[in-house]
Structure 1
């Protein structure tokens, strides 16, 4: 209900372990590429970074002693290579470099799956907006009947919100940078070779390299969390609309595959929309936690930084679930134009028509969506 198979596979312990080791292997490769690590030693380190050779659960237990899984991971990695190679493991890095960069890689992977579902839901909303541009529907403000609109324009509004949120996630994910600064963010063990090493390290992982390490500036994680929260909010708006319009007294839309009731066999519940709303309700608290982690003590946080890992993991999973359920809702949504017209005419006391500008606004929304859609 609150995660998807893809999001679990991208964020579980095995995924974190895989990305942590990917970072360590890339460090060795970068060191060899800039002439600071003997190529043969780098190859030894890369070969040792095989996830199947490590026990994620055991590393988690051992992480308690240092408040970081990187410490036992590096110790085990060093034990797996010949003695002369060991000093080149974790080359020029600190635990936060590896954890932050692994978080970036985990988030990028999961965000890709989220965006796939968002764009699929957007495509369906675009179809509905175009098809129902002239389908009259009574507008409702403060949950009371107002004046006529069109269901196509309602869908266009949902579409615009989804596209804006998806675009925000694309931008936030694309800006997630490499983290590499060493013990206090000054490349203290590398000297003037640090920036050159960082550039190569970033190229290997396909990540942008910031002007300075961001150990104490949590903006990239905040931007990601805010973007995920905005996606949940946009999807929650769509789902709330479906829930309200699907009430028996309104009955203008329904989910194509409604849920059952354990006590009332006659009920057809908007189960998928309900799950989208449930995901959206949880997201703001997680975003707030990430925001609260921003004040950092000197060169390394004691507790706030660590709090980001499970919080961002949970937020990625919830957003993935919201997008997945929203895709199912839009794919199967059933619209009753006759019911919409009947309610609109009853509300207005005469034949109701959508506003003259409704079609033009739908066209503008569709044009903007096509421009934003990859």
Structure 2
């Protein structure tokens, strides 16, 4: 038993997404942080901030450093973030001579936010690919069944006959717009965060920008001249986008559930859920899941907008709220896209007799 349905040993079969969940594993998070610290050392060595031999040694040792997870957990309870204990362990791993140069000029939020950005590159690529695949599946459904007549409904009442293509396009076109929106979302997220204690890089003197540019380039992220430690509009925009995606898929799920009603029977589902008491039923489980996930993300979105309120140069409360909410929203969107593709792939519009 777990507290989240996304990694529940049973419910994850309905709501989970193992591929995306991997990006939020302890290993993935720590690997991204170690990559930041190793790359930072190389960038600072190249700019003469730390000795070149120290930079080389740190970059070689950190990616394979053995970390003590129990100590990280205990220290996070005390410090509120993982990084102070992580840096302590990395300095020991780098050795007495070079360890002092680990994390030079950086702060905890640089490590954590850049680590998230590195993982979001892969996450958003997967979501984009799934959107593209779902759009293609809807196109195929439209090409095959788009000419079949269905009854249009307004305000839950029968209106006038419309072709199935009318319904399919109302599912497909928002997804195309979501893919277009994603480019702007990614531009605000796939950035390197590097500002030091209060975002001024005061410990690097006049080399702060040069180090930041080297760091970003080596990590494959965009450089921004000022860190966005307390400017969370990019993260909030991602949350909004995730809710838009699940909301559009929820609309499709609601439509399919209504079309599949026994009294309507305008679509047939290849795979449906059975009943323990009524063996004749074919429950529209996939469609129902889409509605559930849409409502789930819409609920969490308000929390992510609460997390926009970062006091002064850094907030412990708002930042922690992001950690609690964003992974669930990502997994909900991923599960919804996966479920929707399976649903559409097995959906057939039924011609009227």
Q: Same fold (TM over 0.5)?
A: yes
What's the counterpart of residue 150 of structure 2?
137
* Change in CA separation of 1:270 and 1:163 when aligned onto 2, cut-off 3 Å: same
For 2:150, what is the secondary structure of its paired residue?
strand
Is residue 238 of structure 1 aligned with residue 252 of structure 2? yes
Q: Which runs of 5+ in 2 are unaligned?
A: 1-13
Q: Which has the higher mean CA deviation after the structures are superposed, 174-183 or 161-170?
A: 161-170
* Change in CA separation of 1:61 and 1:231 when aligned onto 2, cut-off 3 Å: farther
Asked whether the equivalents of residues 243 and 298 of structure 2 are also in contact (C-alpha less than 8 Å), the reply is: yes
In the alignment, the residues of structure 1 paired with residue 74 and residue 344 of structure 2 have an alpha-carbon distance, to the nearest angstrom, of 43
What does 1:1-374 correspond to in 2, within 5 Å? 1-50=14-63, 53-56=66-69, 58-176=71-189, 177-338=191-352
In the alignment, the residues of structure 1 paired with residue 94 and residue 165 of structure 2 have an alpha-carbon distance, to the nearest angstrom, of 63
Q: Which runs of 5+ in 1 are unaligned?
A: 343-374
* Change in CA separation of 1:73 and 1:175 when aligned onto 2, cut-off 3 Å: same
Structure 1 position 93, deviation (Å)? 0.8
* Change in CA separation of 1:53 and 1:165 when aligned onto 2, cut-off 3 Å: same
Structure 1 position 56, deviation (Å)? 4.1
Asked whether the equivalents of residues 273 and 329 of structure 1 are also in contact (C-alpha less than 8 Å), the reply is: yes
TM-score, normalising length: structure 2: 0.91
In the alignment, the residues of structure 2 paired with residue 34 and residue 84 of structure 1 have an alpha-carbon distance, to the nearest angstrom, of 19
For 1:80, what is the secondary structure of its paired residue?
helix
RMSD, aligned CA: 1.7
In the alignment, the residues of structure 1 paired with residue 127 and residue 31 of structure 2 have an alpha-carbon distance, to the nearest angstrom, of 20
What's the counterpart of residue 7 of structure 2?
none
What do the CA deviations read for 1:319-360 (whole angstroms, capped 9, x no partner)?
11111111111111122122xxx5xxxxxxxxxxxxxxxxxx
May I ask how many residue pairs the two structures share in their alignment?
Answer: 339
Structure 1 position 58, deviation (Å)? 4.5
Structure 1 position 115, deviation (Å)? 2.0
In the alignment, the residues of structure 1 paired with residue 125 and residue 69 of structure 2 have an alpha-carbon distance, to the nearest angstrom, of 24
Asked whether the equivalents of residues 107 and 316 of structure 1 are also in contact (C-alpha less than 8 Å), the reply is: no
Structure 1 position 51, deviation (Å)? 5.7
Structure 1 position 54, deviation (Å)? 2.1
Higher RCO (C-alpha 8 Å, min separation 6) = 1
TM-score, normalising length: structure 1: 0.86
Structure 1 position 52, deviation (Å)? 6.9
Asked whether the equivalents of residues 129 and 153 of structure 1 are also in contact (C-alpha less than 8 Å), the reply is: no
Asked whether the equivalents of residues 148 and 350 of structure 2 are also in contact (C-alpha less than 8 Å), the reply is: no
